[in-house]
Structure formats: structure tokens, C-alpha cells
Homo-oligomer: A and B are copies of this chain.
Amino acid sequence: QEIQKDSIVKNKIDIKYTDKGFQFKTSDNKHLLHIESRLQFRFATPGDENPLTFDDIYPTSNTVFKINRARLKIGGHAFTPDLKYYFEYELSQSNLLDFRLMFEKWKGFHIKVGQWKTYYSRERIISSGKQQMVDRSIINRPFTLDRQQGISFYGRLFEESPADLTYHLSLLTGTGRGSTENDDNRLMYVGRLQWNFLGREVSMSGSDLKHVTKPEALIALAAATNTSPYTRFSQSGGGQLEGFQDGVSGQYTVNQGLIETAFKYKGFSWQSEVHHKTIFDNVNDTETHLRGMYVQAGYFFSNIFDFVPEPLEVAGRFGYYNPNIEIKQDLEEEFGLAFNWFFNGHRNKLTTEFTYFQIQSYNVIEPSDGLRFRVQWDISL
């Protein structure tokens, strides 16, 4: 009879609704599956995209109402809680974004294989569903490594001590999302060292929704090198920045680095990144230097003013991008102001955003400028 009982217990599945959607778990915790979907609706006027050049600042109005993201997310673990997996599929474009397996037995040394958002810059790593503004800053496009395929080693060392470190070392094909083969045998190498100098990690999501009572902070350095036909990466794979022609195998060698900070405390959140990138064109033997940075901060003013409703956060961002540092006048700036209303944290929120752009061109005295207004509803189901 005892045996009978055991076998029943074995087959029993625990089901819960969690912050990753419905979750199914075997009672021995060997297998777990969670399934979630996410929709992001966006209204933007006079246009949605960040302007890329002087002439790009909304020459014609193109008001947009669209589904910006429709994601299906499946994750969990298999055979042991240490072997985790995760898929993310973009339903509206029919793109497989993430597929990865993580072996996380030892806290100081984890291994990941598959395709995912390269652990390089905070802004890009934070899920589009957990952002503080409607979307990423103007510097994301030129500097992000986006999703790549490969292997990564990472972990956290000296936890809760003043030397608390989180490291990521990645060997990637460097040919972007959806590519099935590397173009040559030269890989992308990425390293990131994050010093959690208060002994606590800053969570990888925008806004301090938890109003943490002990301050969290980080300073991070990251660097990457890659040789490929591409000068930039996005969800659609490898591509070219303005002024670069379609490349052949190994045409562009890109070296880049960043300094990043982040901080959260009692409803206040801060983050910043300073980027530098050098592109060597191995065919035409030219060299271009790009520079950019942003700072971003937000606060729940209900903490100091009683009349402010609790679900409301106000956030601002300043971004700066110079596509070629030898041309001083070639300069793009972004000033953003956002109001978030968190119905249920990041899982159901409404964001209203105003952005002012100013773009200088090297051959014109007066800069071009423009204002954009966006409203976004992001909901996880």
C-alpha cells in the first residue's frame, strides 16, 4: 500500500499561476514548464522610429497604431532543477528569438548554450516588457550586440561582500539572430564584469517597483570584438549602420566597450551607459569611431507627495550619439519624459512618453529637431 501511495505522489503535478504565467511542476521538481504570452500595443505620432539622420526627423506625419510585440514564452527545467531552458517566439513576425539551455548547478560557474540577448549592455538585456520608457534609447541601434548564437560562462562571486562580482564571458558566432552558420572561423568574443559594490545585485528590470529598502548598485565594464559582414545587429539579424555598404565575409572588424552604472533605492532608479565603438573596414582599409551615452532616472513621487497616486512613476532620459567622432557637428540628441501607470507591475502597464530629438549635420548650421508622442500598453498573459 505504501508503494501505491508513492507512485501517486510521483505523478502528481503542482500547478500555479506565477509571474511567468501558468506553471506545471512534477512533485519531485525534476521537470517544470511555464507558459506565458505578452502583447505590446503602441500608438505613435508623428512616427514611431527614432530618427537616424538630419533628414529623418519626421518629414511626413506617419501616425502609427500597431502591435509592436506578440510573444510566446515557454521555459522551465528538465531532468533536474539545474538544467533550465527557455524559448521565446515572436508570433507577429514568426521569428524564434530565444532558445537556450542553462546549466546552473554552481552559483559561481553557470553555462549557457543557444541563442539569446548577449550579456553586454543593461538597456538591451532588460526585456522589452520591463522597460522604464516606451523603448530603448537612440544609442541602442548603433551599439547593441543583440541576439547571437554561442556559448556563455557566467556566475556570481564573493556574494554579499564588498567584492561582489557578476561576470559573463561569451563565445558567439557573431552573425546575429537566425543565422545558421558562421561566415568564417572568426568568432565574437564578449566579456562583462559587474561590480555589485553594495553586496546586492540590481535587478535586470526598469523602475524600482519593489521600493527596495536597502540600496542596490552596480558599476560594470564590458567589451566585445567581432569580425563579420555586419556593422550592427537587430532582431532581424545582421545589418549595416548608415554610411556602411553591405559587407562580405570578414569585411568589418568591430571593437567596442562600455561603462555602465545602475542604482535602485526606495522607488528611485538610475542607470547610465557610455559607449565607444571602432569599425575597421578590412576591404577599404578605413576606420570609424562612434560614441554615445545615455542617462536615465525614474521615481515614484507618491513616496513624498500624498496626492500622487501610487501606481504612477515619472521617468526621464537624455541620450547622445555621435556616429563619427571626427565630425563634431554630426550629433544626435534625445530628451525623453515618460509616465508609467503600473496596473500590475511590469505585467500590465501603460506608458505615455514625450521625446524631443535634435540632430546636427556637419554641412548645416542649424540643427533639425522634432517632437514625438507615444502611448504604449504592455500586458503579460
Chain A interface (Cβ within 8 Å of chain B)? 11, 13, 15-17, 21-22, 24, 26, 30-31, 33, 35, 37, 39, 41, 48, 61-67, 70, 74, 76, 78-79, 85, 87, 89, 91-92, 94-96, 99, 101, 113-115, 149-151, 173, 178, 180-182, 185, 343-344, 347-348, 377, 379-381
Partner of A79, one of B26, B61, B151, B343: B343
How many monomers of this chain does the complex have? 3
Q: Is the CB of B33 within 8 A of A24?
A: no
Partner of A348, one of B24, B70, B78: B78
Q: Is the CB of B11 within 8 A of A13?
A: no
Q: Is the CB of B381 within 8 A of A66?
A: no
CA distance A95 to B92 in the complex (A): 7
Partner of A33, one of B22, B66, B96, B344: B22
Q: Is the CB of B70 within 8 A of A99?
A: yes
Q: Is the CB of B65 within 8 A of A182?
A: yes
Q: Is the CB of B89 within 8 A of A91?
A: yes
Q: Is the CB of A180 within 8 A of B15?
A: no
Which residues in B have their C-beta under 8 angstroms from that of A39? 85, 99, 101, 114
Q: List 16 A-B contacts (CB under 8 A).
A: A17-B30, A21-B33, A37-B85, A39-B101, A63-B185, A64-B181, A65-B151, A66-B181, A67-B99, A67-B180, A70-B99, A78-B348, A78-B380, A92-B99, A92-B178, A101-B379
Q: Is the CB of A17 within 8 A of B41?
A: no
Which residues in B have their C-beta under 8 angstroms from that of A48? 181
CA distance A185 to B63 in the complex (A): 6
Chain B residue with the shortest CB-CB distance to A343: B79
Which residues in B have their C-beta under 8 angstroms from that of A181? 48, 62, 64, 66
Chain B residue with the shortest CB-CB distance to A14: B11
Q: Is the CB of B96 within 8 A of A66?
A: no
Q: Is the CB of B99 within 8 A of A91?
A: yes
Which residues in B have their C-beta under 8 angstroms from that of A61? 185
Given the known interface contacts A13-B16, A24-B15, the answer about A150 and B78 at a Cβ–Cβ threshold of 8 Å is: no
A311 to chain B, nearest CB (A): 13
Partner of A66, one of B15, B91, B92, B180: B180
A18 to chain B, nearest CB (A): 9
Given the known interface contacts A13-B16, A37-B87, A114-B39, the answer about A65 and B149 at a Cβ–Cβ threshold of 8 Å is: yes
Q: Is the CB of A17 within 8 A of B13?
A: yes
Q: Is the CB of B114 within 8 A of A41?
A: yes
Which residues in B have their C-beta under 8 angstroms from that of A150? 65
Which residues in B have their C-beta under 8 angstroms from that of A74? 37
Q: Is the CB of B96 within 8 A of A92?
A: yes
Q: Is the CB of A26 within 8 A of B17?
A: yes
Chain B residue with the shortest CB-CB distance to A88: B91
Q: Is the CB of B16 within 8 A of A67?
A: no
CA distance A91 to B67 in the complex (A): 19
CA distance A175 to B174 in the complex (A): 36
CA distance A79 to B378 in the complex (A): 13
CA distance A246 to B149 in the complex (A): 34
CA distance A187 to B11 in the complex (A): 46
Which residues in B have their C-beta under 8 angstroms from that of A79? 343-344, 347-348
Chain B residue with the shortest CB-CB distance to A48: B181
CA distance A343 to B380 in the complex (A): 35
A134 to chain B, nearest CB (A): 16
Chain B residue with the shortest CB-CB distance to A93: B96
4 closest pairs, A vs B, by CB? A13-B15, A94-B94, A91-B96, A78-B381
A112 to chain B, nearest CB (A): 11
